[in-house]
Amino acid sequence: MENLKNHSLIKRINRSKILNTIRQNPMVARSQIADRTELDKKSITNFVTELMADGLVEEAGRREGASGRPFTMLRFCEKYVVGIYIGPHFTRGVLLDLYGTIVSSYEEEYPSLPSRETVLKTLENVYTRLTFGNNAVYGVGICLPGIIDLDGELVIESVNLPSLNGMDYRQAFGDAIRHPFFVEEESAAIALGEKWFGVGRHYDDFICVELSGGIGSGIIYQRRLFKGAGKYAGELGHVVVHPNGKPCRCGNRGCLEAYASETAILPELNQFLDKPLSRLAYYEPGTLPDAELARIRDHLADEVGRGLAAVVNILCPRVIILTGTIPDIFGEELIGPIKESVENACLKGCFEHTNIYISRLELLDALGAATLPLADIFEVPDYFYV
């Protein structure tokens, strides 16, 4: 029995290696796959026959090789995955092919603190818009902010979407989604998006920090998502940076999120604007005096640096990637002040090998959600990761 189990696992790993070779080389011959995976040609032939029967791979004509011998080329069939992000102000989604190319996207807004019915109806609208008339969708990934019990399939608490508190997401989402679907917490999904498509492609280990309406982080270790024993690792926004400081929405006081989130800095911006903003995404460059913008940026960076210093002291990460509406507004000029703050608040040896980058990926939250069905195709949990 153990031999059968091992044989099945090895087969799954080899299948994933072949699929990833095709993903990274959109037109590739069987012999080229054999060279890249170091599998024998007979095994490649058998796997490809199986993948063609499963509707994942197809032949795409012949191409002459360097020796003049023609090769039959392989590519993915017309197959898609969907990624949907359920946020505090909108739900957005993307449709990707198996190479990770965005085919289409769609977004629908709703008022702040929407009802559960509004959220679920919007989810259905976004999903329908992306999949209408498409019979080739493999699966759907969904991410949302909050404390999510993935084993119990329950939204324990979502500060930004309180109407979802206590929701059985398997049942609720299943009423709107007609394809197999996978669920993850927002910050974790964003880290996966960076791993598949962004700066994180080049690193086995990194931390992705989201600075938006809330503050969270996803930790990638050896190309896999690290959740910790309690499975909620990454709640950076609730690291206390000022004991007995400002009240936080979590019920504690002095949390980083109370000082450095979008919610925290909007009042500072609005005092200089003729028309107050309800969301940082609506800010137009140049509407605030440069000196005031720099002051807000530096103060924000100082607070973020305090929070990151705790992470750096404990994990000594090689790479930190900043994402969200706040880095979108302040850009690369945010990095210098954050580095200075981290250096002032942590051990020098822990930080000297750490690099900080700002993500350049658009639609990252929805892209991160889309990696969930992609992972079901291309990865073998605990054994093989892209």
User: What CATH code is carried by the domain that includes residue 274?
Assistant: 3.30.420.40
- One domain, residues 51 and 156: no
8 A C-beta contact, residue 363 and residue 84:
no
The whole-number pLDDT of residue 237 equals 93
pLDDT tens for residues 156-196? 999 889 999 999 999 999 999 999 999 999 999 999 999 99
Mean pLDDT of the chain: 94
- One domain, residues 210 and 352: yes
CATH assignment at residue 46: 1.10.10.10
The whole-number pLDDT of residue 250 equals 85
- One domain, residues 216 and 342: yes
CB count within 10 Å of CB 188 equals 28
- One domain, residues 214 and 152: no
The whole-number pLDDT of residue 365 equals 97
- One domain, residues 353 and 221: yes
- One domain, residues 355 and 370: no
The whole-number pLDDT of residue 231 equals 84
- For every residue of 118-137, DSSP letters joined together read HHHHHHHHHHHHHHTT---E
To 10 degrees, what angle do helices 30-37 and 41-53 make?
120
The whole-number pLDDT of residue 132 equals 87
Range of the domain at 36: 2-76
- One domain, residues 310 and 185: no
Q: Band the pLDDT of 4: cuts 50, 70, 90.
A: low
- One domain, residues 296 and 270: yes
The whole-number pLDDT of residue 290 equals 87
pLDDT tens for residues 358-386? 999 999 999 999 999 999 999 999 999 99
Question: pTM to 2 decimals?
Answer: 0.94
- One domain, residues 95 and 19: no
In a domain, 337, yes or no: yes
CA distance 199 to 201: 5
End of a domain among 60, 76, 92? 76
